[in-house]
Amino acid sequence: MHDDSRCPCGTGLLYAECCAPFHRGCAEPISAEVLMRSRFAAFARGEVEWLWSSLHPDHDDRSEPREDVHAHLRDGLGRGVVYESLEVLDTRPPDAEGVARVLFAARVKARAKDVSFVELSSFVHDGEGWRYLFGAPVSTGASTRGRLRGDPRKLTIEDPRKLTIGDPRKLTIDDVERGDE
């Protein structure tokens, strides 16, 4: 993929005009959504340094040595994983604690198998730029329409509580927050 191709983040812009400046360390994303898009593009293009540097210091991966995380990312990306497209479903500006949220659906294939997912991600501005704090997975089931229980901002990526939804393209952050008891 060249700089004169469309950016994989879904804006329709050329990569050189869109996420390349972030990946090269020449600019910082202006919002949590722009950071989310730049991270998706980094996964799609194998830009592991941006994936590392865009993590918030409190993200679990930051407790590991940088080179170990880089190697893990390169290994995962080298196993036939293709990040096909990103659709931002909903966003929320920073709350009282400074946490902004982005709900997105990512179309991903691993060795031609569909491993697409929906995630509610949380981001915090660290004084220099927006950083990825954590993401809560949202599972997509066929017909059941459940709701996530509890505050999604307090979930970790390993949290077993998940949301089962119908059509993920119609999901909003409000849907996730309402929760059935």
Q: Between the ranges 46-50, 133-137, 153-157, where is the mean pLDDT highest? A: 46-50
Stated as kind and residue range, the H or E segment containing 175 is helix 173-178
* Mean pLDDT for the stretch of residues 28-40: 98
176 confidence band (pLDDT: 50, 70, 90) = low
Q: Does residue 162 carry a pLDDT above 50?
A: no
CATH number of 15-178: 3.10.450.50
Q: Are strands 81-92 and 130-140 parallel, antiparallel or unpaired?
A: unpaired
Q: Are strands 130-140 and 164-165 parallel, antiparallel or unpaired?
A: parallel
Residues 29, 22: Cα–Cα separation, whole Å? 7
* Mean pLDDT for the stretch of residues 29-54: 97
Higher pLDDT, 89 or 176: 89
150 confidence band (pLDDT: 50, 70, 90) = very low
* Mean pLDDT for the stretch of residues 29-56: 97
Higher pLDDT, 22 or 114: 22
Q: Does residue 69 carry a pLDDT above 90?
A: yes
